[in-house]
Amino acid sequence: MSRQPEVCEIILNRDNYFSLEANRHYMSVSQFKSFVPAYGGCEARSVAELAGDYTRPDKGAFNEGHYIHAWNSNELAEFKENNPDIYSSRGDTKGQLKSNYKHLNKMIEVLEDDPLVMQVLAGHKEVILTAELFGIPWKVMLDSYQPEIGDTGAFADLKALKDMKKSYSEHHQNYVPFYQKYGYDLQMAIYAEVERIVKKREHWIIPHLVVVTKQDPPDHEIIMFDYDMIMSELQFVKNHIERVVAVKTGRETPLRCGHNDCDYCRLTKKAVIKHYKEFDVY
Ligand SMILES: [Zn+2]
C-alpha cells in the first residue's frame, strides 16, 4: 500500500508550509532527517506520518519554539492573542504568562541586548524558498535573510536549546557538538544550496546559527559555517537521498528502526520472547 506524493505544484505560504500536503510534495531538512537513522530517524514512522496515519506525541517544546520565532518575525503580539493557553488560568498568577513563557521572555531579552545578534537576525523574516535538488523538490524557510549584506550575503537560523553541551551520537559512536547531533550543519548546507539555486548564484551565502539556551541565566552564541561544511553535508544528503525518496514514494518498504526511543516503534510493537540474558547489555 503505497501513496505517491501529490504531483501537483503547491504554492507555499506560511499557513501551509508545515502541512501534510506540503510535506508530501516537498522534501525538507527535518523530513530528510526523520528518515535517516544517523539522525534518529525511522522510515516506518515517517511513512506513517506522511500517510496521515500517525502523529507524534506533542513534546510541548513546539509552542515555545514558535514563541521565540514569533518574536524574531515581529509577530509576538499576534501569537499571544492566538495562543491564550500560554497564560495561567488559575491561582495567584491568573492572567500572567506561564513561567516557562516568562523565561522565554528572559531569553528574548538576552538576544535584544546584544547588538551583534540583532544585526545577524536582521533582514527579511521567515522567507520560504523552493528548489529542485538531487532530483526532487525541497522547501526551506529562512528565519532571517540578508542576501545583499557584505560580499557574500547571509542568512540566520534561530534556535532555542536546553544547552550547548556535547552529546553522545550513536551514529558517530562518539561525543559530537550539539549542532552536529541535531543536524543543524546539514540544515544550514541545504538552506544555502537551495538559496544558491533559486538566486542562480555562483557561490553560497554564509549560514549563521543564533543559539540561545534555556539555562538561567541564558547563554547565547552566534555560529557561522563555511563552504567546507556545506560541501561535506551536501555529500551526506547525496549519499542517502536515493533510499529516502524510494521509501517515501513507496518503491521500497520502510524499515522499522525498532529503537526504544522511537515513539512509533513502541506503539506498534509486537513482543517476541527474549532470553533474559539479552537484557544484560542494557
Ligand atoms: Zn522507529
Query: For 127-146, what is each residue's pLDDT tens digit?
Result: 999 999 999 999 999 999 99
Pick left, alpha or beta for residue 278 (phi over 0 → left; psi -120 to 50 → alpha; otherwise beta): alpha
Taking Cα atoms as reference points, which of 221, 187, 223, 226 lies closest to residue 205?
226
Distance (Å) from CA 267 to ligand 1 centroid: 9
Measure the CA angle with vertex 220, ends 216 and 222; round to 5°.
175
Dist. CA 259 → ligand 1 center (Å) = 6
Please tell me the predicted confidence (pLDDT) of residue 187. 98
Position 197 scores a pLDDT of: 97
Å from CA of 173 to ligand 1 middle: 19
For the chain, residues with pLDDT lower than 70 are: 1-8, 59-61, 281-282
Contact 191, 157 (CB under 8 A): yes
What pLDDT score does 8 carry? 58
**DSSP label at 46?**
H
- Which residue in the block uniquely carries the three cell numbers 502523529? 55
Residue 5 CA, ligand 1 centroid: distance in Å: 21
pLDDT of amino acid 6: 47
The answer to whether 262 touches 45, Cβ cutoff 8 Å, is yes
Please choose, from the candidates 173, 200, 163, 186, the residue with its C-alpha nearest in 3D space to the C-alpha of residue 234.
186
Quote the pTM value.
Answer: 0.92
Give the architecture (CATH level 2) of 20-272.
Alpha-Beta Complex (3.90)
pLDDT the model gives residue 61: 64
How remote is the CA of residue 142 from the centroid of ligand 1, in Å?
29
CA of 265 to the centre of ligand 1 (A): 4
The cell for 152 is 557574500
111 Cα: distance to centroid of ligand 1 (angstroms): 37
From the CA of 45, how far away is ligand 1's center (Å)?
Answer: 6
43 CA to centre of ligand 1 in angstroms: 7
CA 35 to ligand 1 centroid distance, Å = 10
